[in-house]
């Protein structure tokens, strides 16, 4: 469709996984708790002002958007690189998918607390400088965030990078990372816009972080198994049978 091989029914399962992985990355223990402080820093205010002053929240929206653009920049570059590598080794795609599937299953076991990987419990925070209250500073902070928290969100990000590489297409693989970035970035913008209303929900999520981690682990283990067994192709065929209109996508 439109003369380009980008979105079709075969990509939909991977898109759903990328969106879910981005959301789960947002809910991870090293991201969710720091969202309000980051918003306060970027808007040059305090958390109390964000909760109680509509004008302050409105002022935080533009920096929050640039923050999301910053982290999306890094994810798109990673997606481009992974897709390029996958395209270069298309003849070994079967072996690559099997190894990537096993790796993602190990990531899942880490979050299920069955097999702990110490590296995935570390953070490497990068200082973006004293740039609070400016859109440019928020963009730099987004770049630093994407670099510094990669070990913590590594399992989710690694799963999507593996999917991107297995696509064997640079545009499709890069697009998957854009979907992942949307799954991580859109909740951030929603919190910026509706912090008072979402405060209770954020507190509830923090209290149930262990359950969220286990759900994350189960999802990653399932993704790895599907990559290992060719389940994504089977899921795509099932979608076409149940929703024939999807065939119009490509």
List pLDDT tens digits, range 181-220: 999 999 888 888 887 777 677 778 778 778 877 887 888 7
Question: How many CB atoms sit inside 10 A of residue 103's CB?
Answer: 17
User: Model confidence over 96-121: pLDDT tens digits?
Assistant: 677 777 877 887 787 777 876 665 55
- pLDDT band for 128, please (50, 70, 90 cuts): very low
- Residue ranges of domains in the chain: 9-232
Coil/strand/helix, residue 119: helix
Closest by CA to 17, choosing from 101, 88, 81, is 101
In this predicted structure, the answer to whether residue 129 has a pLDDT above a threshold of 60 is: no
Most confident of the ranges 65-79, 129-143, 226-240: 65-79
What was the pLDDT predicted at 202? 76
Of 163 and 128, the structure prediction assigns the larger pLDDT to 163
C-alpha span between 243 and 121 (Å, rounded): 41
Reading phi first (left if > 0) and then psi (alpha if -120 to 50, else beta), residue 25 is in alpha
Closest by CA to 48, choosing from 37, 58, 62, is 37
49 close to 133: Cβ distance less than 8 angstroms = no
What was the pLDDT predicted at 3? 38
* Helix, strand, coil abundance in the chain, percent, nearest 5: 80, 0, 20
Q: What is the mean pLDDT of residues 164-168?
A: 76
Closest by CA to 122, choosing from 165, 153, 80, is 153
C-alpha span between 131 and 111 (Å, rounded): 34
Residues above pLDDT 90, as percent of the chain: 7
10 Å CB burial of residue 246 (0-12, 13-18, 19+) is middle
38 close to 142: Cβ distance less than 8 angstroms = no
- pLDDT band for 178, please (50, 70, 90 cuts): very high
What was the pLDDT predicted at 179? 93
Q: What is the mean pLDDT of residues 87-99?
A: 71
Output the CA angle 76-127-55, nearest 5 degrees: 80
In this predicted structure, the answer to whether residue 180 has a pLDDT above a threshold of 70 is: yes
Q: What is the mean pLDDT of residues 131-138?
A: 71
Average pLDDT of every residue of the chain: 76
Closest by CA to 42, choosing from 144, 143, 138, 186, is 138
32 close to 26: Cβ distance less than 8 angstroms = yes
What was the pLDDT predicted at 208? 77
Of 7 and 98, the structure prediction assigns the larger pLDDT to 98
Reading phi first (left if > 0) and then psi (alpha if -120 to 50, else beta), residue 34 is in alpha
In this predicted structure, the answer to whether residue 80 has a pLDDT above a threshold of 80 is: yes
Coil/strand/helix, residue 8: coil
């Amino acid at each position: 469709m439109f003369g380009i091989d980008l979105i079709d029914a075969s990509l939909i399962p991977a898109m759903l996984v990328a969106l879910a992985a981005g959301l789960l990355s947002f809910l991870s223990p090293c991201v969710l708790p720091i969202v309000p402080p980051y918003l306060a820093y970027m808007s040059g205010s305090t958390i109390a002002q964000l909760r109680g002053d509509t004008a302050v929240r409105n002022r935080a929206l533009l920096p929050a958007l640039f923050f999301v653009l910053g982290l999306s920049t890094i994810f798109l570059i990673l997606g481009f690189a992974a897709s390029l590598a996958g395209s270069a080794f298309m003849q070994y795609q079967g072996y690559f998918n099997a190894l990537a599937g096993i790796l993602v299953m190990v990531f899942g076991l880490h979050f299920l607390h069955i097999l702990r990987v110490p590296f995935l419990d570390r953070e490497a925070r990068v200082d973006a400088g004293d740039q609070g209250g400016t859109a440019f500073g928020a963009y730099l902070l987004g770049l630093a965030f994407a670099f510094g928290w990669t070990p913590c969100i590594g399992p989710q990000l690694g799963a999507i990078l593996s999917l991107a590489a297995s696509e064997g297409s640079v545009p499709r693989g890069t697009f998957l990372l854009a979907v992942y970035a949307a799954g991580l970035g859109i909740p951030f913008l929603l919190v910026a816009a509706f912090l008072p209303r979402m405060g209770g929900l954020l507190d509830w999520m923090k209290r149930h972080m262990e359950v969220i981690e286990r759900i994350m682990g189960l999802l990653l283990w399932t993704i790895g198994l599907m990559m290992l067994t060719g389940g994504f192709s089977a899921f795509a065929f099932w979608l076409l049978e149940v929703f024939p209109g999807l065939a119009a996508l490509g």
